[in-house]
Structure 1
Amino acid sequence: MPDLRVGVIGVGHLGKEHARIYGQMPGVKLVGVTDTDEGRGRSVARKWSTEFVKDYTALLGRVDAVSVAVPTTYHFDVAKRFLDQGVATLVEKPMTRTVAEAEGLVEAARKSGAVLQVGHIERFNPAIVAIQKYKLRPRFIEAHRLAPFSFRSGDIGVVLDLMIHDLDIILHMVGEEVEKVDAAGVGILAHREDVANARLVFRNGAVANVTASRVSARSMRKIRVFSDDCYISLDYGERQALIYRKSPELASGQVRLQELDITRILDLKKFLFGDLLTIEKVAIEAHEPLAKELESFVDCVRHRKPPVVGGEQATAAIRVAWRILEQIEASLKRANVPVAAGLTAESGSKAP
């Protein structure tokens, strides 16, 4: 089988890692990279023995697939050029800034038959991969994603920048439509929201509480999932997960809480997390999420398989993100707080 010819559009913070992985991937030929910063682009090209291309459109006709890792504002224009020509395209998250643009990319991929994958990297986090075997039926989910200000992604706020990761994971876990959204947010350093909280109510009654901040003094990427028969606490950053379940004695009815005399229990915590509940450290296979993501993309292109996160799933996350932004806008208006230019329902949530 001939090598898959790949290009990388944008080799900044994330794009340079795409180039690194493609440059070492068996069966893949990194044809070229491009970046608006010529010095950076040439440096990455030299490192991985490939060509620096000044104009990304010069890769058309020379590649079978591309990674698009430019600022979000340009995702639509760049990705559509390749999708229209039938080139398989992986777009970094968020797929686009608006719902209308997202739907436009999905339609372009449908018309040309090109693979469209979106870089929701947490789907490939070893901890997330490991808990899939439990077939969770979430009733309540709580997610926290906090980070210091990165001075990147200034064209979008924290909802599309960071919270979008958890929105995608939550939508995938619950598998139901979001019926109601309540949200609040505030801008601190940027002209868009830097801190946001949202409460999502799903059609089946499940609830998710999601918090994101990009002005935190410390980083945190955690999610807790409460299901019918278990509770999982997962740390994305540490790539660890714990699962709490009823002990066999409690599940079988051998132990009845209403009949317990707690005055005779010497260590309540030990009794709770020993006799009533079991705690299991989930076995997690170590791997680099981005490498797995790109390997999956290449596999989809080679074998015409649907991607783990396709355009439709990414659009669903963007649609919920804009419902959150609408609620943030409404809450700011109620408080007589000026709303940032561009942070309006008309600018992002509506299809053309």
Structure 2
Amino acid sequence: MTQPVRVAVVGAGHLGRHHARLYAGLPQAELVGIADVALERAQRLAATYGVSALADYRDLIEQVDAASIAVPTAGHFAVARDFLDRGRAVLIEKPFTRTLPEADELLALAERRGATIQVGHVERFNPALIAAKGYLKDPLYVECDRISPFTFRSMDIGVVLDLMIHDLDILLDLIPSAITALDAVGVQALSRHEDIANARLTFANGCVANLTASRVATRAVRKLRIIQRDSYLSVNYGERRALLFRKRPDAPDPATIDPTTIADAKAFVYDKLITVEEIPLSLHDALEQELVAFLHCVATGARPACSGADARRALELAWRILDSIRANRDRHVPQ
């Protein structure tokens, strides 16, 4: 396919606006139209780029090769099904679907129609993560922190499917080992679903991961920490920064050092014991790279970086965590 990929954006909300903006500026894409059940919202966004606005996305299907689906999670399945059934490729914002049966039906339909599914786990394209993966060896312990202030978005799901699922997808991509144990807790704060959650995962290879997600925090934090046998990786998604900590080859044994002779312990540690390296990276826009990758897959038939099958694995793990949260909650309810 040498011509630009004809694309539609379904959903003119927070994420849909960014998809439309980026498609409009990419030479690989021709933004054809924007659909939203709130027609006025679609019209305002479409007017910015001189494209059509519709209330019914189905009127766009025959006009495009692909679509970004940025509607609330509850609508992912129906919208994606209609595009896939006509052989159109879809980029579905995370989570893939709300339930596993919905995900399975879409995967089967895509297989029958020969259509591409990519799911918007955008952190896979974060330059800090991409740079850090080059130093990944044998993770022993992983910490994932993803917290943010309350945004009033994604109220049809809880924080596990809203935020934690990003880190579940990353963990499954980074650690090629089965999960042998899982325990989780969650708390409702403002919404009808869990707004704070913590999960601890144990992998068959011995690695342990601890994940915390909150959407009622006072500030936004998106960090990944990986402890390995000979190094420690720190990834800050928000700042697009990656650091590598390693023990100096000539570091003295700390047990042989008299602490009373050290004026500044922190300075001593980072001068004599540990090296800190800023990992070089390319400061690209993750969402733009995600859309470029999707367009490439549509044009060439290549496998997406985060396929429907990949996203289904993350969704299945998310539901295991939700089951654990419910079980722990029920266990502590007074009888």
Q: Which of these residues, 281, 300, 303, is aligned with residue 300 of structure 2?
A: 303
Residue 61 of structure 1: SS of its match in structure 2? helix
DSSP 3-state at the match of 1:217: coil
Q: For residue 332 of structure 1, what is the aligned residue in structure 2?
A: 329
* Separation in 2, partners of 1:317, 1:170: 9
> In the alignment, what sits opposite 2:286?
289
Letter of the 1:222 counterpart: K
Corresponding residue number in structure 2 for 1:26: 27
CA distance in 2, matches of 1:81, 1:337: 46
Does the 8 Å contact 1:196/1:213 carry over to 2? yes
Instruction: Give SS of 2:189's match.
Output: coil
Q: C-alpha separation between the residues in 2 aligned to 1:135 and 1:331?
A: 33
| SS of structure 1 residue aligned to 2:83 | helix
* Counterparts of 1:317 and 1:327, CA distance in 2: 15
Shift of 1:260: 4.3
State the match for 1:192 in structure 2: 193
- The more displaced of 142-151 and 268-277 is 268-277
Q: Identity over the aligned pairs, expressed in percent? A: 46
Whether the aligned pair in 2 keeps the contact of 1:131 and 1:282 (CA below 8 Å) is: yes
Unaligned residue ranges in structure 1 (runs of 5+): 339-352
The 3-state SS of whatever aligns with 1:238 is coil
Gaps of 5+ in 2: none
Provide the residue aligned with 2:268 in structure 1: 271
Give runs of aligned pairs for residues 82-231 of structure 1, distance below 5 A: 82-231=83-232
CA shift for structure 1 position 326? 0.4
Tell me the matched-pair count: 334
Deviations 1:302-344 (A, max 9, x none): 1111111001111111111111100110111112189xxxxxx
1:266 to partner: Cα distance: 4.4
Deviates more, 1:261-270 or 1:182-191: 261-270
Separation in 2 of the partners of 1:337 and 1:4?
58
Determine helix, strand or coil for the equivalent of 2:134. Answer: helix
1:344 equivalent in structure 2: none
Partner SS state of residue 14, structure 1: helix
Matching of residue 37 in structure 1 with residue 34 in structure 2 = no
Structure 1 position 261, deviation (Å): 4.7
Structure-1 separation of matches of 2:125 and 2:28: 21
Distance in 2 between residues matched to 1:148 and 1:263, nearest whole Å? 43
Q: In 2 relative to 1, CA 2–337 (structure 1 residues): closer, same or farther, beyond 3 Å?
A: farther
Residues 50-65 of structure 1 aligned to structure 2 (within 5 Å): 50-65=51-66
